Structure 1
């Protein structure tokens, strides 16, 4: 199980606008400190945390942050409409389009996805793989 994911950011304010456009809608809580931005799913009393947490921070070595070539972080949604709405909100908040929401022929019939780049260039996917949503075969 993945415990947490951290991405680097040179412009924390731009990153905050981008991630605030969709992570709260997926249930993530937010806190900000001197070390950057922290997003975590709520933990009911007496239960273990839902993972992974997501962190956006300046680099530890002080060098410019870079996006990993081939690295992508995917966030699961409940509906196709939520993918479309959050993809649009992230674009309005400074993200770049890497693939409009829709089905992809190379994935399963229920896999609905929209791709983005955050302000630092990290690739983000918003996916819905809900079998109760229409499939590309419907």
Structure 2
């Protein structure tokens, strides 16, 4: 359903320092960059699916209160790695890796990036 997602930043270089290792845990890597944005995708994808951008209107980036971007993880180990990489690169914990009550196999971790954007990695497989 979604074509791509963007999050705003006030420090594009710092955001790259955060997102490069964090998204790598889920199989995404930096594919494009210019002075206003960084685009990430999986190898072989024809377009970037996750963008970190400085706001087009020139005003400071802010995060959405109540907004969370959930990214699919192939394994629970990838969820754990996502969480660890986020904390090691300036993110903050919003929920350690573990099972959630949404269904029997909903294993997730929640973090905020350096700009306060809330992200989650989710594995819905049994192990």
Is the TM-score greater than 0.5?
A: yes
**Runs of 5+ unmatched residues, structure 2:** none
Aligned to 2:33: 32
Q: Which residue of 2 aligns with 1:11?
A: 11
Q: Pick from 65, 69, 82: which aligns with 1:69?
A: 65
Residue 81 of structure 1 corresponds to: 77
Task: Tell me by how many angstroms 1:16 deviates.
Answer: 0.8
Aligned pair 1:56/2:57, yes or no? no
Give the conservation status (yes or no) of the 8 Å contact 2:18–2:114: yes
TM superposition shift of 1:61 = 1.0
Q: What 5-or-longer segments of structure 1 have no aligned partner? A: 134-138
Q: Which residue of 2 aligns with 1:2?
A: 2
> What is residue 136 of structure 1 aligned with on the other side?
none
Structure 1 length-normalised TM:
0.84
Task: Verify: 1:119 aligned to 2:103, yes or no.
Answer: no
Question: What CA distance in whole angstroms lies between the structure 2 residues aligned with 1:123 and 1:73?
Answer: 6
Give the length in aligned residue pairs: 126
Q: Which residue of 2 aligns with 1:22?
A: 22
What TM-score do the two structures reach when normalised by structure 2?
0.91
**Contact preservation (8 Å) 2:12, 2:36:** no
